[in-house]
Homo-oligomer: A and B are copies of this chain.
Amino acid sequence: MPVTKEQIARFEAACRTHGLKITQQRLEIYRTLHQSTSHPSAEALYRQLVRLMPTLSLDTVYRTLATFEELGLVKRVETTGNQSRFEARTEQHHHFFCDNCGQLLDFTWPTFDSMPLPDELEQMGQIREKNLVLHGLCSRCLAGKNNNKQNTGP
């Protein structure tokens, strides 16, 4: 997914609004995450980025992702693993997690998104977001092409 001018503009606007400097590191981290469809971990993102920016450090990636998360530019994905994974996609969507290879796939389900929630939830609090996480085996693992290689991004 290429990054559009609009998305870069949105990123720059978000930085300016919050008094953040637009640094090379921030720009590249945002751009790379936006182009990725693999929901990479901070580590995976770092491995990819350090090839372009050899002086980049892993803790800058962590710090930057945390900052972006606060601004709402980036989201942390719901997982059962012990490494956080991130995405920059902002349209409403859901995830399918392959229990064999660890791959995360996006899908949309507008019918579900517009369904009213059960009444039981009214008493529980105020809902802001609903995320669906499916578990199973991706088609590649079903075909036996992956030997349990855990995958948290490039």
Q: Is the CB of A125 within 8 A of B112?
A: no
A16 interface hit (Cβ, 8 Å): no
A115 interface hit (Cβ, 8 Å): yes
Q: Is the CB of B120 within 8 A of A108?
A: yes
CA distance A70 to B145 in the complex (A): 23
CA distance A115 to B84 in the complex (A): 30
Q: Is the CB of B121 within 8 A of A129?
A: no
A10 interface hit (Cβ, 8 Å): no
If A79-B78, A80-B77, A133-B78 touch, whether A124 touches B109 (CB-CB below 8 Å) is no
Contacts of A125-154 to chain B: CB distance below 8 A? 125-142
Shortest distance between the CB of A107 and any CB in chain B (Å) = 5
Interface size class of A (residues with CB under 8 A): 35 or more
Shortest distance between the CB of A6 and any CB in chain B (Å) = 26
CA distance A124 to B80 in the complex (A): 20
Q: Is the CB of B118 within 8 A of A139?
A: no
If A78-B79, A118-B111 touch, whether A136 touches B127 (CB-CB below 8 Å) is yes
Q: Is the CB of B139 within 8 A of A125?
A: yes
The 9 closest A-B pairs by CB, nearest first: A125-B138, A127-B136, A128-B136, A78-B78, A129-B135, A76-B80, A125-B139, A131-B133, A126-B136
List the interface of chain A (C-beta within 8 A of B).
Answer: 76-80, 82, 84, 96, 98-99, 105, 107-109, 111-112, 115, 117-118, 120-121, 123-142
